[in-house]
Chains A and B, each alone.
Chain A
């Protein structure tokens, strides 16, 4: 591996590709189950109900304050399993690499992927690499499938959400969306805000056996408001958020004021939105606040009878509908 950048030849099935797989991917991801020469592997029987999920990842820049594409991909799949009440076990990784990507960058991203996988008790058991021509890919795309084992004692059913239930969030929202935007220095803005990209597995584990817990989801693209819309649609009730209780970092507020964005629609990558019955809310918050990642957890709203919609209650006592996201956020003219 003397090259400094990915060449098309790294994807041609020959020596360069073999070296890339063994000396880069397998070096970081190696474990007893991973056999780079096999077409398929046999997994040991799981000690519980299996759960499976899949997701694709792309981000610009590939490395940003608080994370990178590698760790982001692991967290994304771990989080989907965690909020469904599972412990993650096995991942597959498919990498689409753009010709010209610096090998040093690829190495850092895959090392970060491997470290995040280890931290969450995940073994990568199968993988694939492809190289696309320069200009046909954003440096690197990662596709990950994850297998987990269901562990939650709570029932976790979005349809069971009822009026009187409470909406909680594990920390400030919108950090990832704004951190990545600032890292791109888009629209001439810059800042030091870090992405919230993280595994929510410890947060999920801390509360998933509480009987009053009805539902958890990790807000990603579309942010808090989109999760609330999913809740409203599934349970048929109104989700009412209290504007002054939704935690927002100053940088997020600042960019939203400058460009006219609504923070409730900005991406998060390491938060949980939970719905509990009224009795369990404080217990969930206590468990979350005992963890470093849940220090900013708070109660942000409630479920009310009414149409399936999302309402934001303002400080002055006004109410406005938070619509489903229609367009990509763009800076407003005035």
Chain B
């Protein structure tokens, strides 16, 4: 399923987070984030008003990038 966008948490009150994306605010439910509670400043992926996951940094876009990197290092 598709329509979800990353929003940044500005404040948290219980399970409700005030989130912002480019000058638009929305109250977002953190009820589905109880195993890994996000903190103020974190980015969460928001779908139909619920945070469904924290947005983290990814080191690679595809496993091939890592594969090529290792290959290069082995050759070096």
Residue numbers of A with Cβ under 8 A of B are 182, 188-193, 249-251, 253-255, 257-260, 332-334
Tell me whether B1 is interfacial, beta carbon within 8 Å.
yes
Docked-complex contact B23 and A251, CB < 8 angstroms? yes
Q: Which of the listed residues B1, B26, B46 has the most CB atoms from chain A within 10 Å of its own CB?
A: B26
Distance in angstroms from A262 CB to nearest chain B CB is: 13
Distance in angstroms from A252 CB to nearest chain B CB is: 9
Tell me whether B58 is interfacial, beta carbon within 8 Å.
no
Q: List 21 A-B contacts (CB under 8 A).
A: A182-B24, A188-B27, A189-B25, A190-B24, A190-B26, A191-B23, A193-B23, A250-B22, A250-B23, A251-B24, A253-B22, A254-B21, A254-B22, A254-B24, A255-B24, A257-B21, A258-B24, A258-B26, A332-B3, A334-B2, A334-B47
Q: Which residue of A lies closest to B46 (CB)?
A: A258
Q: Which residue of B lies closest to A193 (CB)?
A: B23
Number of A-B contacts (CB under 8 A): 47
Q: Which residue of B lies closest to A333 (CB)?
A: B3
Tell me whether B5 is interfacial, beta carbon within 8 Å.
yes
Proximity bits, B1-29, A CB within 8 Å = 1, else 0: 11101000000000000000111111100
Cβ–Cβ < 8 Å partners of A255 in chain B: 24
Residue numbers of B with Cβ under 8 A of A are 1-3, 5, 21-27, 46-49
Cβ–Cβ < 8 Å partners of B5 in chain A: 254, 257-258
Q: Would you list the 9 A-B pairs with minimal beta carbon distance, nearest first?
A: A250-B22, A254-B22, A334-B1, A251-B23, A254-B24, A191-B24, A334-B3, A254-B21, A257-B5
Cβ–Cβ < 8 Å partners of B1 in chain A: 334
Docked-complex contact A260 and B25, CB < 8 angstroms? no
Cβ–Cβ < 8 Å partners of A249 in chain B: 23
How far does the alpha carbon of A159 sit from the alpha carbon of B49 in the complex, in Å? 47
How far does the alpha carbon of A259 sit from the alpha carbon of B29 in the complex, in Å? 17
How far does the alpha carbon of A251 sit from the alpha carbon of B26 in the complex, in Å? 12
How far does the alpha carbon of A253 sit from the alpha carbon of B5 in the complex, in Å? 11
Docked-complex contact B26 and A188, CB < 8 angstroms? yes
Q: Which residue of B lies closest to A181 (CB)?
A: B24
Cβ–Cβ < 8 Å partners of A188 in chain B: 26-27, 49
Docked-complex contact B22 and A189, CB < 8 angstroms? no
How far does the alpha carbon of A189 sit from the alpha carbon of B46 in the complex, in Å? 13
Distance in angstroms from A182 CB to nearest chain B CB is: 7
Cβ–Cβ < 8 Å partners of A191 in chain B: 23-25
Cβ–Cβ < 8 Å partners of A260 in chain B: 3
Docked-complex contact A251 and B22, CB < 8 angstroms? yes
Cβ–Cβ < 8 Å partners of A254 in chain B: 5, 21-24
How far does the alpha carbon of A255 sit from the alpha carbon of B3 in the complex, in Å? 12
Q: Which residue of A lies closest to B23 (CB)?
A: A251
How far does the alpha carbon of A182 sit from the alpha carbon of B47 in the complex, in Å? 19
Cβ–Cβ < 8 Å partners of A253 in chain B: 22
How far does the alpha carbon of A27 sit from the alpha carbon of B1 in the complex, in Å? 57
Docked-complex contact B2 and A189, CB < 8 angstroms? no
